[in-house]
A and B are shown apart, each in its own frame.
Chain A
Amino acid sequence: MILLQLILSGILIGGVYALISLGLTLIFGVMRIVNFVHGDMLMVAMYMAYWMFALFGIDNYVGLLVIVPATAALGALIYWGVLQFAIRRSHEASILATIGISIVLQNAALIIWSADYRSIHNELSTLSVEYLGIRLSAPLLIAFSVALVVTILLFAFLNHTYLGKAIRAASMDRYAAVLMGVNTRKIFTVSFAIGTALVGIAGGLLASVYTVYPTVGTQFLLVSFVVVVLGGLGSLRGAVIGGLIVGVVETASAYFIGSSMKELVYLLLFILILIIKPAGLFGQQLPGVNR
């Protein structure tokens, strides 16, 4: 019974991890950027949700209406203002640039909002649903459901709209996409904005689950790195499956060996994947002549 409880809870949080990781893997797949700002976008979204609730009493789910466009815009700004130039230099430059922006955001949050922990307390946040002896947190359940819907919408977008297909084309072969008339600069900006919006949604959802503080994004960034490598860099399917797997593994580890060590488990998992199958579950071996 405990096992079922752990698995279900794990899937719930795993769904949110999947959402976060979809954003990360989309950005990597299209632009080959390892986006260190991703976790901090979650933090920004969480703070937005918190302040909208604390100042105006707006529910964080309603707040998503503001959070999504805001984070998308922020993402587009970061790409347009900094990253597009960093990419031109080198992959290393884009990694370091995102790290720099991450440091700026975390410390800006620290300065503006201090290190105090903040959390949203409404009727929903402590509610849990019980069924057949399994107890699941209500906000987490909602988060999972929304994440599921968003994921389905995302796949629909990528497979059935022109813009979506252009994005997929750019991630498969950038040069071919250019030759076929795809405006890669626009695609890159849009992809980065979408990727950021996805993690923004996750942030809005998690605001009623976790407490928020300036460096809260770091943990989630680490988790999503593990998910993305497990699933395969650039693979959307991989991000979903990987997210669910990591969610379950993490929840189970927290139960069996304590929450301070659970991070160790997925870090070791991460290292193990890199040793055994770095391409991950669904990734392709990156082009290059190393065998």
Chain B
Amino acid sequence: MAELLAVRDLTKRFGGLTAIAGVTFTVNEGDILGIIGPNGAGKTTLFNLITGFLRPDRGDVIFRNQIITGWKAYRINRLGMARTFQIAQPFANLNVRDNVAVAAFRIAGSLEEARDMADEMLRFVGLDSYWKYETEKLPIGMKKKLELAKALVTRPSLLFLDEVMGGLSSGEVRELMRILWKVHESGTTLVVIEHVLPAIKELCQKVIVLHNGAMLAQGSTDEVLRQPEVVEAYLGEVKVDVGP
């Protein structure tokens, strides 16, 4: 498996607080990597550092053998890295379809083509009958799907999902997992931040545990989740098993 992303010794400080301390890991093509850790561990900050929304104080991010440390977010996205946001960020004055169409324009040649691509993507995530709706009125489950659709339509090779299952019902979680499996099957590599542990267990073969900005553990999902430090760090954070 080719190495897609390498993160080396990534560090970020905010004033006196070290948010991310020397994090190092790699992601290979075809992986589904989970990033877990208690709240405030720095997971989203890590995402922001990798995807160009924050500049690291030290360390490097390498994508397909290209050093992208310090690159602006939009340039990184154009290389084939997409992300969703923990709090869904729709374009309020555009309807659901146009939200996705904007993203599709990166590849599409015309408005019609962009809208067609958007329609296809909406069908894929199950939002097609809501294409006309204003995004403000959408319940959270659909907002998350919209986030996903926007990120996917650009056909990224690496997709970062920030708590995409947060706030969803168990049925919605299952549906989203099905969608993510299909995304993975089509060749996209996934990196997933999640609190919903059953989803992590099912989706990810590898997992990284972040605690206070540092990597507490890394390895296969089963191994890591059995480590005592991990269980301890997570005590109180574990979501009750939702079931199959």
When A and B assemble into the complex, do they touch directly, with CB atoms less than 8 Å apart?
A: yes
Name the residue of chain B whose CB is nearest to the CB of A284. Answer: B15
Task: Give every chain A residue within 8 A of B72 (Cβ-Cβ).
Answer: 291
Query: A289 to B73, alpha carbons, bound, how many Å?
Result: 10
Interface residues of B in 34-67 (CB under 8 A from A): 48, 53-55
Q: DSSP majority for the B interface?
A: loop
Query: A291 to B54, alpha carbons, bound, how many Å?
Result: 7
Task: Give every chain B residue within 8 A of A289 (Cβ-Cβ).
Answer: 48, 53-54, 73
Query: A95 to B240, alpha carbons, bound, how many Å?
Result: 47
Query: A291 to B52, alpha carbons, bound, how many Å?
Result: 10
Q: Are B48 and A291 in contact (CB under 8 A)?
A: no
Interface residues of B in 50-99 (CB under 8 A from A): 53-55, 72-73
Nearest chain B CB to A105's CB is how many angstroms away?
A: 32
Proximity bits, A214-240, B CB within 8 Å = 1, else 0? 000000000000000000000000000
Task: Give every chain B residue within 8 A of A291 (Cβ-Cβ).
Answer: 54-55, 72
Query: A107 to B55, alpha carbons, bound, how many Å?
Result: 49
Task: Give every chain A residue within 8 A of B54 (Cβ-Cβ).
Answer: 289, 291
Name the residue of chain B whose CB is nearest to the CB of A289. Answer: B53
Task: Give every chain A residue within 8 A of B55 (Cβ-Cβ).
Answer: 291
Nearest chain B CB to A282's CB is how many angstroms away?
A: 14
Query: A291 to B74, alpha carbons, bound, how many Å?
Result: 13
Query: A289 to B74, alpha carbons, bound, how many Å?
Result: 12
Proximity bits, A269-291, B CB within 8 Å = 1, else 0? 00000000000000000000101
Query: A289 to B55, alpha carbons, bound, how many Å?
Result: 10
Query: A69 to B26, alpha carbons, bound, how many Å?
Result: 64
Nearest chain B CB to A88's CB is how many angstroms away?
A: 14
Proximity bits, B7-51, A CB within 8 Å = 1, else 0? 000000000000000000000000000000000000000001000
Nearest chain A CB to B222's CB is how many angstroms away?
A: 36
Name the residue of chain B whose CB is nearest to the CB of A291. Answer: B55
Task: Give every chain A residue within 8 A of B53 (Cβ-Cβ).
Answer: 289
Nearest chain B CB to A28's CB is how many angstroms away?
A: 22
Nearest chain A CB to B157's CB is how many angstroms away?
A: 23
Query: A289 to B54, alpha carbons, bound, how many Å?
Result: 7
Query: A289 to B44, alpha carbons, bound, how many Å?
Result: 13
Query: A289 to B48, alpha carbons, bound, how many Å?
Result: 9
Query: A209 to B191, alpha carbons, bound, how many Å?
Result: 66
Name the residue of chain B whose CB is nearest to the CB of A288. Answer: B53
Query: A291 to B73, alpha carbons, bound, how many Å?
Result: 10
Nearest chain A CB to B40's CB is how many angstroms away?
A: 14
Query: A291 to B48, alpha carbons, bound, how many Å?
Result: 12
Interface residues of B in 154-176 (CB under 8 A from A): none
Interface residues of A in 194-229 (CB under 8 A from B): none
Interface residues of A in 241-291 (CB under 8 A from B): 289, 291
Query: A291 to B53, alpha carbons, bound, how many Å?
Result: 8
Nearest chain B CB to A285's CB is how many angstroms away?
A: 11
Name the residue of chain A whose CB is nearest to the CB of B70. Answer: A291
Query: A197 to B128, alpha carbons, bound, how many Å?
Result: 55
Name the residue of chain A whose CB is nearest to the CB of B72. Answer: A291
Query: A291 to B70, alpha carbons, bound, how many Å?
Result: 10
Nearest chain A CB to B118's CB is how many angstroms away?
A: 25
Nearest chain A CB to B135's CB is how many angstroms away?
A: 16
Query: A289 to B52, alpha carbons, bound, how many Å?
Result: 9
Nearest chain B CB to A172's CB is how many angstroms away?
A: 13
Name the residue of chain A whose CB is nearest to the CB of B73. Answer: A289
Nearest chain A CB to B97's CB is how many angstroms away?
A: 24
Query: A122 to B192, alpha carbons, bound, how many Å?
Result: 74
Task: Give every chain A residue within 8 A of B48 (Cβ-Cβ).
Answer: 289
Query: A249 to B201, alpha carbons, bound, how many Å?
Result: 65
Nearest chain A CB to B115's CB is how many angstroms away?
A: 28
Query: A291 to B55, alpha carbons, bound, how many Å?
Result: 8
Name the residue of chain A whose CB is nearest to the CB of B48. Answer: A289
Query: A122 to B236, alpha carbons, bound, how many Å?
Result: 72
Nearest chain B CB to A50's CB is how many angstroms away?
A: 47
Nearest chain A CB to B109's CB is how many angstroms away?
A: 30
Query: A289 to B76, alpha carbons, bound, how many Å?
Result: 15
Query: A291 to B72, alpha carbons, bound, how many Å?
Result: 9
Query: A280 to B72, alpha carbons, bound, how many Å?
Result: 24
Query: A253 to B55, alpha carbons, bound, how many Å?
Result: 41
Nearest chain A CB to B198's CB is how many angstroms away?
A: 29
Query: A225 to B62, alpha carbons, bound, how many Å?
Result: 44
Query: A117 to B41, alpha carbons, bound, how many Å?
Result: 63
Query: A266 to B181, alpha carbons, bound, how many Å?
Result: 60
Query: A289 to B47, alpha carbons, bound, how many Å?
Result: 13
Name the residue of chain A whose CB is nearest to the CB of B55. Answer: A291
Q: Which residues of chain B have a CB within 8 Å of any CB of chain A?
A: 48, 53-55, 72-73
A sample of 7 inter-chain contacts (CB < 8 A) reads: A289-B48, A289-B53, A289-B54, A289-B73, A291-B54, A291-B55, A291-B72
Give me the 4 closest cross-chain CB pairs, A-B, nearest first. Answer: A289-B53, A291-B55, A289-B54, A289-B48
